[in-house]
Amino acid sequence: MSNSSRLNLVQRPRRIRRTEALRRMTCETQLTVNDLIYPLFIMEGENTKVEVTSMPGSYRYTLDLLLKEVAEAHALGIPAIALFPLVAEDKKDNAGTESYNPDGLIQRTVRAIKQELPDMMIVTDVALDPFSSKGHDGIVSDDGEILNDETVEVLVKQAISHAEAGADIVAPSDMMDGRIGAIRQGLDAAGYTNVSILAYSAKYASAYYGPFRDALDSAPKFGDKKTYQMNPANAREALTEVELDIAEGADMVMVKPALAYLDIIQLVRSTTNLPVAAYNVSGEYAMIKAAGEKGWIDEKKVMLETLTSMKRAGADVILTYFAKEVALILH
């Protein structure tokens, strides 16, 4: 090339992308195994695992097999799991009373994991939907309203029963008003001052939860969740929810879903110094798996790119069904 055809540039950003070592050195965002929480589905029975049809590679496990899965996750360095139960239809009622049964599926599972792997952090979901005969996160009144304060009373009992079983982190995903403060008070009064609260603060009424509701058979039996979960069109309202949850005692706040809400993750990150979690939800997982199975995308690369984007947006912690796959790659 002749000298005359050379541009006279002061900045050539490509210089720092020239080699693999330079790219590694100038990398701004690191996705690590330490960032991951692995959500797992648990069911009654023995020696069985059933793949969730809309979530290839994700299973509902009986406790014996779940313990093996958790041990594998632990060996890979994943610091935490999040548990979700499949509850038998005959145990469901409007008030979700099974949710605080001291010998319920979640409570037994937490005890069993803590006995085998005490340093694996356990996050439990606090909400009524898997236990609700109506498939809602709260108690439903005769005229179909979701009753806020009555529901919060049950959520407090549920959270205390999880703490009693050994949960490290309770994660209210129900979106009732005032539940973080009530749960904090309830935990403290029961002596569980060290149990932390991961608040699903900005949780949207999202169609991305579809595969999860298949996994737990927990879809609403009527209506939708729009009177408690947030409108996907709203951003400022997310900050109101986050502010309230922090004022009420949240230790960590969450944005959910993650992929279509990266702007919300960034906004929340810029307004709090608490850890921010993002939930890479079931529908986000299903889309990548489905396109990967068809050979339309490189599944592993899209997975890593997607999770990295969540960290880049400001998430410290990511709940993802990909946790084990990611850990295997990063190991």
Quickly tell me which residue has 């990398």 as its tokens.
Answer: 27
Alpha-carbon distance of 252 to 153, in angstroms, equals 22
Q: Count the site residues for ligand PBG by CB under 6 A.
A: 11
- The residue (of 192 and 212) whose beta carbon lies closer to ligand PBG is 212
- The residue (of 129 and 299) whose beta carbon lies closer to ligand PBG is 129
Contacts of 202 (CB under 8 A, 6+ apart): 230, 238, 241, 242, 253, 254, 255, 256, 261, 264, 268
Among 54, 282, 306, 320, contact with ligand PBG (rule: CB under 6 A): 282
Q: Quick one: which of 78, 64, 74 has its CA closest to 33?
A: 78
Alpha-carbon distance of 8 to 221, in angstroms, equals 67
Span interacting with ligand PBG, options 107-115, 124-132, 146-154, 161-169, rule CB under 6 A: 124-132
Catalytic one of 91, 92, 225, 256: 256
- The residue (of 64 and 221) whose beta carbon lies closer to ligand PBG is 221
Cβ-contact 284, 319 below 8 angstroms: no
Instruction: List the interface residues with ligand PBG, window 186-215 (CB under 6 A).
Output: 209, 212-213
Catalytic one of 91, 92, 134, 203: 203
Among 36, 113, 127, 255, contact with ligand PBG (rule: CB under 6 A): 127
Cβ-contact 122, 166 below 8 angstroms: yes
Among 35, 98, 129, 241, contact with ligand PBG (rule: CB under 6 A): 129
Cβ-contact 201, 242 below 8 angstroms: yes
Q: Is 226 a catalytic residue?
A: no
3-state SS, one letter per residue, for 62-131: EHHHHHHHHHHHHHCCCCEEEEEECCCHHHCECCCHHHHCCCCHHHHHHHHHHHHCCCCEEEEEECCHHH
Residue 173 in contact with ligand PBG, rule: CB under 6 A: yes
Alpha-carbon distance of 143 to 139, in angstroms, equals 11
Alpha-carbon distance of 158 to 83, in angstroms, equals 14
28 marked among binding-site residues: no
- The residue (of 256 and 269) whose beta carbon lies closer to ligand PBG is 256
Residue 125 in contact with ligand PBG, rule: CB under 6 A: yes
C-beta of 279: minimal distance to ligand PBG in Å? 6
Among 62, 110, 131, 137, contact with ligand PBG (rule: CB under 6 A): 137
Binding residues: 241
Binding residues for Mg(2+): 241
Catalytic residues: 203, 256
Interface residues with ligand PBG (CB under 6 A)? 125, 127, 129, 137, 173-174, 209, 212-213, 281-282
